[in-house]
Amino acid sequence: MDPTTPPPVTSSSVSTPPAVATAEDKTVAIVSYLTLIGFIAALIIHSNKKTRLGAFHLRQTLGLFLTVMAVAIGGLVLLIIPILGWLCLAALWFALFAFWVMGLLAAVKGEMKPVPFIGPMYQKWFGTTFD
């Protein structure tokens, strides 16, 4: 076979679309977004029956939780700067809330869709955590 020709397409090399998530699979994903207690409950549920959807959203939620903590601590510096610092901090909190809503909606739909901008980094940083 010529090295420049691509390998033949077989049924095993064609990727199939992911199966639609069942309600049971969505439970961990949805509950993980509902406060810290919900995250802990989702971890417990996920430890009994691991799913790709649940692990994905647990990583997203963990990343959002850590980002919220970083903004809360770093925001103390922005509070020192009148008006401009306050506006920046308010914009950060609004963006994090919007990302949380987007993540929750993706979990409700059963999609493995990362939150904008920072979601792909969470998946990279936390790799196989929760798998």
Mean pLDDT over 45-67 rounds to: 94
- Quote the pLDDT of residue 67: 96
Q: What is the pTM of this model?
A: 0.79
Distance CA 46, CA 4 (A): 45
Of 75, 33, 85, 84, which is closest to residue 54 (Cα–Cα)? 33
- Quote the pLDDT of residue 52: 93
Residue with tokens 């509950």: 31
φ/ψ region of 103 (left if φ > 0, alpha if ψ in -120 to 50, else beta) reads: alpha
